[in-house]
Amino acid sequence: MIPHSRPTLDEEDRQAVLNVLQTGRLVQGEQVAGFEADLSAMIGASHAAAVSSGTAALHLALIALGAGDGDEVICPSYVCSAVLHAVRCVKAAPVIADIERDTFNIDVQDVKKRMTAKTKAIIVPHLFGLPADMAGILSLGIPVIEDCAQAPGSRFRGRFTGSFGRISIFSFYATKVIAAGEGGMLLSSDSGLIEKIRDLRDYDERDDDALRYNYKMTDMQAALGRSQLRKIDGFIKRRREIAGHYDLILQKAGIPIPVTPPEREHIYYRYVILLDQAEMFIEAMNQSGVACRRPVFKPLHRYLGLSGYSVTDDVWKRAVSIPIYPSLTERELFDITESIKKTGDSGGLRGC
């Protein structure tokens, strides 16, 4: 079975972790500080704080911005539930926005309709590796948390995503673009925000009993993350090569391919297409030995029992994610391509 996702690891990655084990210092230390410096230098942010996960990063970003009981935080419906959990953790009210059909990203015009005097922040994921409309988002004047969990290395108007918002977050889960097993990071050009986050991520040996968290990253994770980050250009190049291959196959079948608007650079964390018979296609591909999935398990508005999200509902029903990651071999790519063709010939591949 060709898995839907898997990390791309090599001997350099293994040696990086082994070097930390040999020092005997496993917790937050020199490697964490180095990882913070490496990623902030790449993105172009002045300050960084590494944490234990992307969800922890979202939680601390909201705290740092002062979001709490009585506040509203706008976020798109078509995103993983970690966003919803983070908003709930600070007792703010999640305000769910619809998405753009072509890009799967948050719809700026829909956000405008949902803004109120209580709006404290907006969480903007760059979904599947494609930047959101940052010009439109920033024009709203709301503090922005950029969610770059799926998009490190993507660019909007030549600038790296993660450099636009008041604060940005990254994730290093095992199958993310940069894989460290777990881990997250927050970047900002506001030193005060990052200092507050640094204070919040570690509770021990303090003079006061203010609420803090055990959200530290380990040096083992950071060493692996640094090794992965050094290879990110190659990772993205390979993802784009595979995406180009899929583009050709699907265009021949008359299937709309992922859209990349002008001024945005896609890194293809996911390769997502819309099909009339999504479930049929997924089942047929699985039967042929290729794991395909729905890229979002369940939209946020459906968890909350809300209606009126027509674009999100339509995308959710039709979206399929095809395997795309640097460690795909040429043989596996050939097998995936043949499975797509076979599924198309059997009537399971019809564009919406």
Cα–Cα distance for residue pair 200/134, rounded to 1 Å: 28
Angle at 59 between CA 58 and CA 62, to 5 degrees: 85
| Contact present, 36 and 48 (Cβ < 8 Å) | yes
Q: How many CA atoms lie within 13 A of 194 on its CB side?
A: 19
DSSP result, 17-40:
HHHHHHHT--SSSHHHHHHHHHHH
For the chain, give the longest Cα–Cα distance: 69
Cα–Cα distance for residue pair 350/188, rounded to 1 Å: 43
Strands 47-51 and 184-188: antiparallel
pLDDT of residue 142: 97
pLDDT of 347 higher than 70? no
352 band by pLDDT with thresholds 50, 70 and 90: very low
Cα–Cα distance for residue pair 274/187, rounded to 1 Å: 33
Both tokens of 250, joined, read 């699907």
pLDDT tens sequence across 144-199: 999 999 999 999 999 999 999 999 999 999 999 999 999 999 999 999 999 999 99
Do 232-345 and 11-229 have the same topology in CATH?
A: no
pLDDT tens sequence across 35-94: 999 999 999 999 999 999 999 999 999 999 999 999 999 999 999 999 999 999 999 999
CATH level 2 (architecture), domain 232-345: Alpha-Beta Complex (3.90)
Which residue from 42, 88, 22, 23 is spatially nearest to 225, judged by alpha carbons? Answer: 42
pLDDT of 346 higher than 90? no
- pTM for the complete prediction? 0.96
Tell me the torsion sign for CA atoms 232, 237, 242, 248. Answer: positive
Residue ranges covered by each domain of the chain: 11-229, 232-345
Both tokens of 142, joined, read 């709301």
Across the range 212-236, mean pLDDT stands at 98
Strands 167-171 and 144-147: parallel
pLDDT of residue 140: 98
Q: Is 255 left (phi over 0), alpha (psi -120 to 50) or beta?
A: beta
Strands 159-160 and 155-156: antiparallel
Which CATH code fits 11-229?
Answer: 3.40.640.10
Both tokens of 73, joined, read 């935080």
Cα–Cα distance for residue pair 324/155, rounded to 1 Å: 19
pLDDT of residue 350: 64
Q: Is 64 helix (H, G, I), strand (E, B) or coil?
A: helix
Cα–Cα distance for residue pair 127/80, rounded to 1 Å: 10
Percent of the chain with pLDDT over 90: 95
Cα–Cα distance for residue pair 31/228, rounded to 1 Å: 13
Which residue from 195, 141, 131 is spatially nearest to 163, judged by alpha carbons? Answer: 131
Strands 167-171 and 271-274: unpaired
Across the range 297-323, mean pLDDT stands at 98
